[in-house]
Amino acid sequence: MIHPWEAKCNAEPNTFISTSNELTELAMKLSKELNIDMHIYEGGIMKNGHIYAKENENKFDVIISQGGTAEAVKKLVNIPVVSIEIRFIDFLDAIYRARQYGDRIGLVTYMTEDIKDLERVKTILDIDFQVFPYRTKEEMKKQIEDATALGNLTLIGMGDCILETAKVKNLNGVVIQTGEKQVKEAIIAAKNIYRLGLREKEKAERFKTILDHSRDGIIALDKNDVITIFNPAAEKIFDLSADQVLNRSIKNNINRKHFCNIYGDGKHQLNKLVKVNNKQIVLNRLPIIVGNEQRGLVMTFQEISQLQKLEQKVRTELYKKGLVAKYSFDDIIGESKIIKDTINQAKKIGKTSTTILIAGETGTGKELFAQSIHNISPRKDGPFVAINCAALPENLLESELFGYEEGAFTGAKKGGKIGMFELAHGGTIFLDEVGEIPLSLQGRLLRVLQEREVLRVGGDYILNVDIRVIAATNVDLYEKVKEGKFREDLYFRLNILDLRLPSLRERKEDIPLLVMNFIEEMNAKHGTKIKEVTEPAMELLKEYDWPGNIRQLENFTEKMCILSNSPIINETLVEQLLNGGLYKTEGPNIGQGNSGETITLDICNIKDIELQIIKEANKLFKGNKTLLAEKLGMSRTTLWKRLKEIEAKEQC
């Protein structure tokens, strides 16, 4: 019978094959005391306990039993079997109890060394008993028959089958009782074996998981070059199943033609490009050396295509960090000829991967053009990394551009840091205000441009980078070369393709488009409800030179939207803001007698003389209507009307 008992603690998958009822009770008692779960099956070798063990071995990790039953189980199963120790004293105790029934005793027991010792002490103990040893179930049956054939005697054995046989034959029977200590030790030993086996299983499963899920193909050989490991990635690359190659020599194998390229001379090899099944792979070959002897070989390899996919995944992760160009040429606003020509030129040079130098005043949109160029280039799917070279001190700029290794300097991050050039691998790096890079770093930048190689700060190995460089400057770089502040060789390396961005004063006809676009953005940003800008107000905006270019115009538009008390921005607000100090522009000093400027007038009616004065004064002020209106003592609106009259007369 089976006595399952579920413990309230962690279960231990052991089974106990008991040979007697007393042993079953003892095993149940100890399992509770030790807090160890066991499945107990009562039935020794005569009741096929060993067969039960064989049929259920996949359910358990360790089996506990005793005597001949334990030995029979060991021969059948492939899991550990713990034998309960049968002491010499246990035999003597059974013999002593059997003497109570008479002097004739038959001891049926599994053949052990202790049996020979018992034979030798028969004379000393003055006890008449005969030993009937066995090794198998069949032998045990025969020995029991031989013992009972002797007639009146007491049977001694290890299982309840002895008592049952004695009862049938009308004889007395005694069961050899195992000590509680020995049973306890056997249970604990089984528990320890299980836990040790569990750790080994964990190691094996961990190893198998690594092999099965590794992106690398892995082949391992023993010292005789027999293939012992052929993981799923290797199966895929070689288009072979593990069953086709395992336990076969790599040199004498039906599939050996597949392995010639990777085995080679069997010596150490790293990062070698080889071709297998029309696939390019990167091979590493690593001998296993124990002492001074090679005991095997491990080869790992990965498809180039897989490496490329991994690189693409890394780039995707970089995009999540914001290393992506957001703007395109569609985001550049303007209808003027000069901006259209600039865009067309940028599109033409953008379709290459050549280094570009963008020149333009502050606020002309250099990064906007750089991002647009990236997004039409062959590198559009790669990262776009931007850095302002004037925004960081020299030591910090160096570590940001080139990265650094762990411990390169005090405060360096654990594990080091990847640099901007590495982040831009496969894409574009935008170096804004490149003219501000210190001379001490210009040599390192030149090497990156020439060799496409990066050495991290504190590093001792070279990293290859595949990048396009777009540099930008708001100063005349060649003047800096003449002044000795910028390396000439670096200048020519940067200035392979050049792009000049026009200032806003060169494209004033684009101001209305820009202003209305900025108004839409500010309405959304601040919740304002500006609908339009009056024509005189727009004329004022067009007259101003905008030294800060588009960025200044954007900021000014934001100010107008916030401060306007009306949905329509008029010239009064614009004039007030332009004359507020930050936007005021000096003009000629008319009417003060020290300007050296004179106006010649034709004699005519008063109205025409007024128009002549306005026309000639406008020339002196070079179109600055704000100062002209102020000097002539008239409002901006009146001045604007008079200028329209002059324009109409000239057209006639």
pTM of the model: 0.49
Residue 20 has pLDDT above 60, yes or no: yes
How far apart are the two ends of the chain, measured CA to CA in Å?
A: 124
On average, the pLDDT of the chain sits at 82
State how far the Cα of 176 lies from the Cα of 157, in Å rounded to an integer: 6
Nearest one of 355, 372, 379 to 498, comparing CA atoms: 355
Contact 60, 15 (CB under 8 A): yes
Tens digits of per-residue pLDDT, 573-616?
998 888 764 454 444 444 333 344 566 666 676 777 777 788 87
Tens digits of per-residue pLDDT, 100-137?
888 788 888 887 766 667 777 776 777 778 888 888 87
Contact 245, 226 (CB under 8 A): no
Nearest one of 548, 390, 368, 394 to 470, comparing CA atoms: 368
Other CB atoms within 10 A of residue 50 CB? 26
State how far the Cα of 104 lies from the Cα of 97, in Å rounded to an integer: 12
Contact 118, 106 (CB under 8 A): no
Contact 301, 237 (CB under 8 A): yes
Return the pLDDT at 256: 67
The CA dihedral of 617, 622, 625, 627, to the nearest 10 degrees, is -80
State how far the Cα of 158 lies from the Cα of 132, in Å rounded to an integer: 13
Name the 3-class secondary structure at 219.
Answer: strand
Establish how many alpha carbons lie within 13 A of residue 438's alpha carbon, considering only the half-sphere containing its beta carbon.
Answer: 11
Question: Can you read off the two tokens belonging to residue 212?
Answer: 């099965």
Question: Can you read off the two tokens belonging to residue 264?
Answer: 């080679």
High-pLDDT (> 90) share of the chain, %: 25
State how far the Cα of 43 lies from the Cα of 594, in Å rounded to an integer: 129
- Considering only 22-36, 230-244, 251-265, 360-374, which range has the smallest mean pLDDT? 251-265
Contact 558, 549 (CB under 8 A): no
State how far the Cα of 88 lies from the Cα of 643, in Å rounded to an integer: 131
Tell me how far the alpha carbon of residue 534 is from its chain's centroid.
Answer: 56
Contact 102, 172 (CB under 8 A): yes
Return the pLDDT at 595: 42
Contact 486, 468 (CB under 8 A): no
Name the 3-class secondary structure at 48.
Answer: coil
Chain length of the chain = 652
Contact 496, 358 (CB under 8 A): no
Higher pLDDT residue, 276 or 487?
487
Question: Can you read off the two tokens belonging to residue 26?
Answer: 């003892």
Across 171-185, 249-263, 315-329, 472-486, the highest mean pLDDT is recorded for 472-486
C-alpha pair distances (Å), 476 with each of 122, 165, 358, 435, 567: 117, 114, 11, 9, 43
Residue 362 has pLDDT above 50, yes or no: yes
Other CB atoms within 10 A of residue 178 CB? 22
C-alpha pair distances (Å), 49 with each of 16, 63, 111: 10, 11, 19
Contact 318, 426 (CB under 8 A): no
Pairing of strands 62-66, 14-18: parallel
State how far the Cα of 418 lies from the Cα of 422, in Å rounded to an integer: 6
Angle, helices 549-563/511-526, rounded to nearest 10 degrees: 50
State how far the Cα of 374 lies from the Cα of 525, in Å rounded to an integer: 28
Sheet holding 428-432, edge to edge: 384-388, 428-432, 468-473, 356-359, 497-500
Nearest one of 123, 118, 122, 120 to 133, comparing CA atoms: 118
Contact 555, 521 (CB under 8 A): no
Amino acid at 583: Y
Return the pLDDT at 312: 55
Return the pLDDT at 109: 81
Contact 288, 267 (CB under 8 A): no
Tens digits of per-residue pLDDT, 614-652?
887 877 776 677 777 777 777 767 777 788 888 777 766
- Residue 178 carries which DSSP code? P
Nearest one of 423, 324, 425 to 375, comparing CA atoms: 324
Compute the C-alpha angle 119/122/125, nearest 5°. 145
Residue 250 has pLDDT above 70, yes or no: yes
State how far the Cα of 261 lies from the Cα of 273, in Å rounded to an integer: 10
Identify the band that residue 556 occupies on the pLDDT scale cut at 50, 70 and 90: very high
498 beta partners: 357
Return the pLDDT at 254: 62
State how far the Cα of 178 lies from the Cα of 66, in Å rounded to an integer: 9
Identify the band that residue 311 occupies on the pLDDT scale cut at 50, 70 and 90: low
Other CB atoms within 10 A of residue 73 CB? 25
Mean pLDDT of 237-265: 79
C-alpha pair distances (Å), 268 with each of 167, 185, 283, 496: 75, 50, 11, 44
Question: Can you read off the two tokens belonging to residue 443?
Answer: 């040599």
Tens digits of per-residue pLDDT, 393-424?
887 888 888 888 877 776 667 767 888 888 88
C-alpha pair distances (Å), 173 with each of 99, 328, 368: 11, 100, 103
C-alpha pair distances (Å), 255 with each of 260, 287, 308, 503: 10, 22, 28, 70
Counting Cβ atoms within 10 Å, is residue 214 exposed (0-12), middle (13-18) or buried (19+)? middle
- All structural domains of the chain: 2-85+181-196 (3.40.50.2300), 88-177 (3.40.50.10660), 214-303 (3.30.450.20), 329-502 (3.40.50.300), 505-578 (1.10.8.60)
Residue 511 has pLDDT above 90, yes or no: yes
Contact 545, 626 (CB under 8 A): no
Return the pLDDT at 314: 59
Angle, helices 137-149/67-76, rounded to nearest 10 degrees: 150
Return the pLDDT at 10: 40
State how far the Cα of 376 lies from the Cα of 530, in Å rounded to an integer: 35
- Residue 502 carries which DSSP code? P
Identify the band that residue 347 occupies on the pLDDT scale cut at 50, 70 and 90: very high
Question: Can you read off the two tokens belonging to residue 340?
Answer: 């259209």
Contact 370, 358 (CB under 8 A): yes
